[in-house]
């Protein structure tokens, strides 16, 4: 029974991730406290540091889960749609929907920054990069001439643009948009991009 200890350790890690996820979803990243998480998870304060290097490492786990959830809704969004333009629109709408449904988990993805020197683990960068694959699909149908690497960069640019719109809207920066016109506004914006993508050569 060597696996007994491993299982216990994994259960502890899972419980802590669950507790942290709930706390972030309810109070946001800035309201996250190690003492609250461990109390919710039913373990001692110090236990957190036996399961993770520090609070940042735990947050990265939560964010990784969130990215996988977004990955799933984006996959579902394009399912059954062949037209690349409409795929783009569905992807943007799915992203907006997720952000609106889980604003604090979604914000935690971008609010969390490691202290000065430390680097984000490669596997978590990979979690992020996976989202771009959804954009690359329709994009290469719209711009078949684009080379592989250019395609990745362009996909990131388009994702970033949509993210910026969703982000600044949900944060209510620069005077708020009525929330129900946001869907339309984003849809119009994708139209704008598609119009450019189909006429320009890249």
Residue 32: name its binding partner from DNA, its own copies, none (Cβ under 5 to 8 Å by kind). Answer: DNA
Binding flag, residue 123, its own copies (CB under 8 A)? no
Q: Which of 83, 163, 179, 183 binds its own copies (CB under 8 A)?
A: 163
Q: How far is the CB of 17 from DNA (least distance, A)?
A: 15
Binding flag, residue 162, DNA (CB under 7 A)? no
Q: Which of 1, 113, 145, 147 binds its own copies (CB under 8 A)?
A: 113
Q: How far is the CB of 58 from DNA (least distance, A)?
A: 8
Binding flag, residue 121, its own copies (CB under 8 A)? no
Secondary structure of the chain in HEC code, one letter for each residue: CCHHHHHHHHHHHHHHHHHHHHHHHHHCHHHCCHHHHHHHHCCCHHHHHHHCCCHHHHHHHHHHHHHHHHHHHHHHHHCCCCCHHHHHHHHHHHHHHHHHHCHHHHHHHHHCCCCCCCCCCHHHHHHHHHHHHHHHHHHHHHCCCCCHHHHHHHHHHHHHHHHHHHHHHHCCCCCCCCHHHHHHHHHHHHHHHHHHHHHCCC
Q: How far is the CB of 134 from its own copies (least distance, A)?
A: 12
Binding mask 22-61 for DNA (x = CB under 7 A): ----------xxxx-------xxxxxxxx---xxx-----
Footprint of DNA (CB under 7 A)? 1-2, 4-5, 8-9, 12, 32-35, 43-50, 54-56
């Amino acid at each position: 029974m060597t696996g007994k200890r491993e299982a216990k350790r994994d259960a502890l890690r899972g419980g802590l991730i669950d507790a942290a996820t709930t706390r972030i979803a309810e109070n946001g990243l800035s309201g996250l406290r190690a003492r609250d998480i461990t109390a919710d998870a039913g373990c001692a304060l110090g236990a957190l540091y036996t399961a993770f290097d520090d609070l940042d490492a735990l947050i990265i786990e939560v964010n990784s889960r969130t990215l996988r959830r977004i990955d799933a809704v984006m996959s579902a969004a394009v399912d059954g749609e062949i037209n690349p333009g409409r795929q783009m629109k569905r992807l943007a709408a799915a992203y907006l929907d997720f952000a609106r449904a889980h604003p604090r988990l979604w914000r935690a993805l971008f609010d969390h920054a490691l202290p000065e020197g430390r680097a984000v683990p490669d596997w978590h960068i990979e979690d992020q990069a996976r989202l771009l694959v959804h954009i690359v699909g329709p994009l290469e149908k719209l711009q078949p001439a684009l080379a592989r690497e250019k395609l990745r960069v362009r996909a990131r640019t388009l994702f970033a643009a949509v993210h910026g719109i969703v982000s600044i809207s949900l944060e209510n920066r620069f005077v708020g948009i009525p929330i129900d016109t946001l869907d339309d506004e984003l849809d119009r914006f994708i139209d704008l991009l598609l119009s450019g993508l189909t006429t320009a050569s890249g």
